[in-house]
Amino acid sequence: MRLIIEDTPEEVADLVAAYVVKKINDFAPTAAKPYVLGLPTGSTPLACYKKLIGLYKEQKVSFQHVVTFNMDEYCGLPRDHPESYHSFMWENLFRHIDIQRQNVNILDGNAPDLKVECDRYEEKIKSYGGIKLFLAGIGPDGHIAFNEPGSSLSSRTRIKTLAQDTIIANARFFGGDVTAVPRMALTVGVGTVLDADEVLVLITGAHKAYALEKCIEGGVNHMFTASAIQMHPKAIVVCDEDATLEMRVRTAKYFKSLPHREEMLGLARVETLMESSAKRPKK
Amino acid sequence: MLHERYVRPRYEKKLAPTPPAAVPSGPVLTQFFNAMLVTERGLVQGDLWMLGDKLVDPQSQFWERSAKAVDRRVDCQGMLLAPGMIDIMLYGAFGVDFSRCAEADAEAQVASDLAMVRRRLPELGVTAFCPAVRPCAPADCARAIQRLGKTARLPPPSRDVVMGEETAWAQCLGVHLDGPFLDALHAASTGSSAEHVRSSLEGNALDEACGGRALEATLITLAPELPGAVTAISRLVAAGVGVGLGRTEATLAQCYDAVAAGARLVTQVMSAMPPFKHRDPGPVGLLADGRVGKADAADAADAADADAANAKAVAPPWPAIRSATGTFTGAPGDIFFSLAVANLHSCSVNLVHGANPHGIVLLSDLGSGSGDAEAAEASLGAIPSCARQLYLKTGAADPSAAILCGSAHPARLLRLPNKGRLTAGADADLLLLDPDDLSVKACYVAGQLAWSHPNLRGALWFHA
């Protein structure tokens, strides 16, 4: 697993957006061979989406042949409700880019049979040959997608009841009314995320420091479902300085000394990397 | 440059024209992007979507369309995207004088003149208008009302093509009768002969003077001090005719009576009416009465929302005006003041604007269609130019409020909830305006490109 520590949340967003664009462009997707991207919702990815929109507007990338799968969606919330993840994705990404409707996949929390909807979603992912890059955020309790603490680490897409602290945390989006937050959600499983070729987790802010420490330094643990990415052959965690507050200095220093960042972006060959990372200005 | 805040327009840049792809069957979903949207809450950077001839909520469109997210895109290049202008008092344009439309043997000529004006108005930014008719003989008046009646938005009377696509013409909203019930003192200000001016609205005068067609007009400007005025106003308002007060010597009390009876407009405020005096401010006094239509922008927007939803009236929180004949319980922005900004001193403009910024309705000054004015000359008197002058004279922070005085306010005056606003469900009558001088760069009527500036041709449609 790689851990990349940037100074600010903005640099995290820059790096991740640049990486996504590079992956799409290197893949050179076509209609017959689309690039398949997994997408999260939430405040951390929001900054990254803004950067992606900026890069799209500068014509650095096209989403014409990009297929997206979203991680989760509330059950029973109308699709056009401002807090639905359909609305989130539309407002913050899809309306600004040239993505095609038929390439967008979000779980339907209002489907007549939710079990069938979840199975259909898994099948659909398979039909594209799996997800190439899964972006993810994590919750303060270490959840990835809506895989609340205690979820099976081999879980697939399914219905999940939200944990009380998630409901309380999300009440701020529903006018502070805890009873207005949907109790259930459809979510991809931890296993679904781990099946992706690459998993990239964004973590920013001091309030996520404990979760990051658990995710990196703790063991694989079903009470911190994001820690399962330790088992993934190609997992990347990008965080800011604030998120490292709970981590041991030793761990943070180790990861900062590595040229992961440049390698990721294919900026330079490894020999020159050691010099250039030594020259990076200290702030 | 008027202000520093905007991205400078980039339309000078020559863009390669996109060859029109096969036009999809069914209504076309169009996205306007890179635009500064003109809204009640100021300029908003963003995009706007239309499906066919209506603006739509893009999100629900996105999820419901199985294939393409959008059929075509319009790069607004940093220009202002505004609702189409509505001219509530257009005496004529492009050499046509609507008052002459009444002549008995001119039927065919009138039809072609009206068509020509409708086709050419989009280049002045006007997407809907009320032809104004001066005092004339009863038979002539009836003919004018009939010939200049409301027209549909779609389709234009004959096939017309702009840039390879069918276009639409400005919509005629019906006649604005400027008289004949006026104060004799102001008869000359109409430019019509005094013999047609009537000094009473009593009895059958309304029907008699308009050849029985008075209730088919859209707006009528009259002097409220004439005998019988209040009864006539009630009757007109009940029939859905808007009543404006103008060319008058009325006292403020008489104006209150007229407002209580349903009058909603002061026509050409400060002109052809008594000056503001301390004991009796006259019609101008309506401006400063807090009970008569004074609202902040958000209230105005909400009032428009309420109009749109046909919400039932809620008792207003301010005291009702008690008049001799009834009680007027106004609503925010209920009284409008039409203003020929070009001819007013900036002090007068600021007085009106300061007193009631959300009641201003811009009046064009197209020279009454008397001359064969060149288009460039005509555009100086057209509504977008008036909006610019209002904006300059009031020194506002951004021009959106001034632009809405030519679109949203007249739409509210005429109770047209689907016009004058950039909200989902509204008619797709749109303007692209230069952010520097507010000149018209392109005009869409009913979702179709009706006119575009020569520099822009070929650059406006991108087929996604």
Identify the DSSP state of A282.
Answer: P
B126, B85 Cβ separation under 8 angstroms: yes
Torsion sign across C-alpha atoms A57, A100, A265, A251: positive
Interface probe with B: pick from A73, A101, A105, A110, most Cβ of B within 10 Å: A101
Q: 């280049």: which residue's tokens?
A: B123
Please give the tally of structural domains in chain A.
1
- Catalytic residue at A72? yes
Conformation bin of residue B78: beta by default, left when phi > 0, alpha when psi is -120 to 50: left
Distance from CA of A50 to the nearest CA of B (A): 14
**Per-residue pLDDT at B173 exceeds 80:** yes
Determine whether the interchain pair B67/A100 forms a contact, defined as Cβ–Cβ distance below 8 Å: yes
Q: What is the pLDDT of residue A270?
A: 45
Determine whether the interchain pair B69/A101 forms a contact, defined as Cβ–Cβ distance below 8 Å: yes
**Per-residue pLDDT at B58 exceeds 90:** no
Interface probe with A: pick from B31, B45, B47, B62, most Cβ of A within 10 Å: B62
A211, A226 Cβ separation under 8 angstroms: yes
Range of the domain at A146: 2-279
Q: What is the pLDDT of residue B289?
A: 73
Contacts of A127 (CB under 8 A, 6+ apart): none
pLDDT digits (tens, 9 = 90+) for B177-220: 997 899 888 887 777 777 888 888 888 888 888 888 889 999 99
Q: What is the pLDDT of residue B398?
A: 87
Q: B42 forms bridges with which residues in the sheet?
A: B39
- Catalytic residue at A7? no
Q: What is the pLDDT of residue B61?
A: 82
Q: Which among B399, B443, B406 has a CA at the least distance from the CA of B421?
A: B406
Structure tokens at B339: 């203003």
Q: What is the pLDDT of residue A222?
A: 94
pLDDT digits (tens, 9 = 90+) for B284-314: 988 887 665 544 444 445 555 554 443 333 3
Residues 55..94 of A with a Cβ closer than 8 Å to B: which? 79-80, 86-87, 90-91, 94
Determine whether the interchain pair B59/A102 forms a contact, defined as Cβ–Cβ distance below 8 Å: no
pLDDT digits (tens, 9 = 90+) for A24-55: 999 999 999 999 999 999 889 999 999 999 99
The domains located in chain B, with CATH, are 84-284+337-410 (3.20.20.140)
SS3 content of chain A, % helix, strand, coil (to 5): 45, 20, 35
End-to-end CA, chain A: 26
**Per-residue pLDDT at B1 exceeds 80:** no
Q: What is the pLDDT of residue B431?
A: 94
Report helix, strand or coil for B219: strand
Determine whether the interchain pair B62/A101 forms a contact, defined as Cβ–Cβ distance below 8 Å: yes
Confidence of residue B67 (pLDDT cuts 50, 70, 90): low
Distance from CA of A80 to the nearest CA of B (A): 7
**Which of A143, A241, A260, A262 is labelled catalytic?**
A143
Please list, residue by residue across B366-386, b when 16 or more beta carbons sit within 10 angstroms of its beta carbon and e when fewer do.
bbbbeeebeeeebbebbbbbb
Query: Cα B141 from chain centroid?
Result: 22
- Measured CA to CA in angstroms, residue B256 lies from B245, B315, B325, B359, B417 at distances of 11, 19, 10, 17, 26
Conformation bin of residue B323: beta by default, left when phi > 0, alpha when psi is -120 to 50: beta
**Per-residue pLDDT at B82 exceeds 50:** yes
Residue A187's domain is classified under what CATH number? 3.40.50.1360
In whole angstroms, what is the distance from residue A15 CA to residue A19 CA? Answer: 6
pLDDT digits (tens, 9 = 90+) for B98-140: 888 777 777 888 888 888 888 889 989 999 999 999 888 888 8
